[in-house]
Chains A and B, each alone.
Chain A
């Protein structure tokens, strides 16, 4: 489990395990980490755990919160980061693997409507590397496609390489429907870094995936059978 080590000058005062999704720091005794010093605001800062990724947020304190010497309003925390609050410092320590944190269920609280903040590019790089090491690389980089099982289309096989694929009778459509009654646009498929999402259009009220009617956006999974505008097709992910 991640923790912070509270220090005053060189003396270690105590270690605090970060076992909650939010840990508050301040001079007020109601804080999780109570620091009784005039340089510290009553409610000075807050440590936030979001799915194993830790952040510190300054709560508009008088003297500010510093991470590795830089004043921040909000910052991602990496192992061994030095947080300074008044005359005290907190060393953030995170274990090498974050497996245990991932299993924690997280109740999301109301969003803080802070200003938009850009993350330090170095920290961002470190986060990406950490994620890669933990085996959490993007899952949507693989190429998907459709095999037509039934119905009138111009081809039997379609690779979905573009950002947006239209199914319908219009010229813009990749999966081109034939027949007088075919809708101009039957469905749209959006390729994102997360995966492929299909949304039915107004003219094709009945879009079914594996026999279930779909309204709005649906994330396609390998092997899904899609029924739309009198065609039946199977979605696949290329290995």
Chain B
């Protein structure tokens, strides 16, 4: 399926550095958003290492040049296993780097990654960066944050609304680079014409409500403009953290109303 995609990262209003990073690789159909953490410049290093390692591993394993790293999970497609393999390798690389340099100790990064493969989108994540699907003007969060508050919701101790204003919502329970190995959450989604995938860091979701993300991506036909609009809203709402968003618009079928709208726009221009 054809798609158009774009990404944007912004350091926000309050932060001095941007520790987020992203990747849109149209050839591979690969989309990644990462949010690094760690003192000094370590967060930036961890997030960049993650993007580069995952992209490289997906590329090499797609071409059959590279063996899979870690266990191959037969429940999932080869594409899903490629992302998981890349994330495990990135985890190892960041962890080893952090052990070799005192200034990098404790660095790590979240990852939200999606890989388009035929009629499916493989999704993978660790930490609190998220992937949403916008389908038929409805928004669904496809990932569950690896965070303390998310676990408290799961156990029925907090509601989603209470979690959004929690003091400890910034404590995550999983990331790349903090331990010798990492567990990766995988899923696969059957795609539909017109689907929009949204990958973002918590700098977006803590500042912009889900229904605003929905209305903003639905209001734009071009992913670049929608990315700019979302970052602007996050900054207007405070921009307390780095903001990163990647959007992939899968091509839709032309509906009557869309054709009519174009026709109407054309006449107005005359």
Interface residues in chain A, defined as those with a beta carbon under 8 Å from any beta carbon in chain B: 48, 50-53, 55, 57, 74, 76, 102, 106, 108-119, 121, 124, 127-128, 131, 136-140, 163-164, 166, 168, 170, 172, 183-185, 187-188, 190, 192-194, 197, 199-203, 216
- B121-144 interface bits toward A, Cβ cutoff 8 Å, 1 = contact, 0 = none: 000000110000101111111101
Q: Let me know if B167 and A111 touch, CB within 8 A.
A: yes
- Pick 29 A–B contacts, CB within 8 A, sort by A: A50-B152, A74-B171, A108-B165, A110-B165, A111-B169, A115-B37, A116-B110, A118-B37, A118-B108, A118-B172, A118-B173, A119-B171, A124-B173, A136-B155, A136-B156, A138-B154, A139-B155, A164-B133, A164-B189, A168-B136, A170-B192, A185-B135, A185-B138, A185-B192, A190-B140, A197-B140, A200-B138, A201-B135, A201-B138
Q: Let me know if B136 and A53 touch, CB within 8 A.
A: no
Top 6 nearest A-B pairs by Cβ distance?
Answer: A202-B137, A201-B136, A185-B136, A136-B155, A113-B240, A51-B157
Q: Let me know if B167 and A109 touch, CB within 8 A.
A: yes
Q: Let me know if A113 and B14 touch, CB within 8 A.
A: yes
Q: Let me know if A199 and B157 touch, CB within 8 A.
A: no
Q: Which B residues from 69 to 122 make CB contacts under 8 A with A? A: 108, 110
Q: Which B residues from 196 to 223 make CB contacts under 8 A with A? A: 202, 206, 211
A-B contact count (CB 8 A): 143
Q: Let me know if B136 and A188 touch, CB within 8 A.
A: yes
- Closest residue on chain B to residue A123 by CB atoms: B173
- Shortest distance from the beta carbon of A141 to any chain B beta carbon, whole Å: 10
Most buried by A among B139, B140, B162, B206: B140
Residues of A within 8 A of B224 (CB): none
Q: Let me know if B211 and A166 touch, CB within 8 A.
A: no
Interface residues in chain B, defined as those with a beta carbon under 8 Å from any beta carbon in chain A: 14, 35, 37, 108, 110, 127-128, 133, 135-142, 144, 148, 151-158, 162, 165-175, 178-179, 187-192, 202, 206, 211, 240-241
- Shortest distance from the beta carbon of A144 to any chain B beta carbon, whole Å: 16
Q: Let me know if A163 and B241 touch, CB within 8 A.
A: no
Q: Let me know if B168 and A163 touch, CB within 8 A.
A: no
User: CA of A109 to CA of B162 in the docked complex: distance in angstroms?
Assistant: 10
Q: Let me know if B169 and A199 touch, CB within 8 A.
A: no
- Closest residue on chain B to residue A120 by CB atoms: B178
- Shortest distance from the beta carbon of A51 to any chain B beta carbon, whole Å: 4
Residues of A within 8 A of B136 (CB): 168, 183-185, 188, 201-203
- Shortest distance from the beta carbon of A164 to any chain B beta carbon, whole Å: 5
Residues of B within 8 A of A168 (CB): 136
Q: Let me know if B155 and A131 touch, CB within 8 A.
A: yes
User: CA of A42 to CA of B108 in the docked complex: distance in angstroms?
Assistant: 32
Partner of A117, one of B37, B135, B142: B37
Q: Let me know if B202 and A116 touch, CB within 8 A.
A: yes
Residues of A within 8 A of B141 (CB): 190, 192
- Closest residue on chain A to residue B161 by CB atoms: A108
20 new A-B contacts, CB < 8 A, other than A164-B190, A193-B154, are A48-B168, A74-B171, A102-B157, A109-B165, A111-B166, A113-B206, A115-B37, A116-B170, A116-B202, A118-B174, A118-B178, A127-B148, A137-B155, A138-B154, A168-B136, A172-B191, A188-B136, A188-B140, A194-B154, A201-B138
Residues of B within 8 A of A197 (CB): 140
Given contacts A121-B179, A185-B135, A194-B154, contact A164 B169 (CB under 8 A): no
Q: Let me know if B135 and A166 touch, CB within 8 A.
A: yes
User: CA of A114 to CA of B15 in the docked complex: distance in angstroms?
Assistant: 11
User: CA of A188 to CA of B140 in the docked complex: distance in angstroms?
Assistant: 8
User: CA of A106 to CA of B167 in the docked complex: distance in angstroms?
Assistant: 12
- Shortest distance from the beta carbon of B109 to any chain A beta carbon, whole Å: 10
Q: Let me know if B152 and A114 touch, CB within 8 A.
A: no
User: CA of A199 to CA of B157 in the docked complex: distance in angstroms?
Assistant: 23
Given contacts A74-B171, A199-B140, A201-B135, contact A121 B162 (CB under 8 A): no
Residues of A within 8 A of B151 (CB): 127-128, 131
User: CA of A199 to CA of B158 in the docked complex: distance in angstroms?
Assistant: 21
- Shortest distance from the beta carbon of A127 to any chain B beta carbon, whole Å: 8
- Closest residue on chain B to residue A202 by CB atoms: B137
Q: Let me know if A199 and B37 touch, CB within 8 A.
A: no
- Closest residue on chain B to residue A48 by CB atoms: B167
- Shortest distance from the beta carbon of B50 to any chain A beta carbon, whole Å: 14
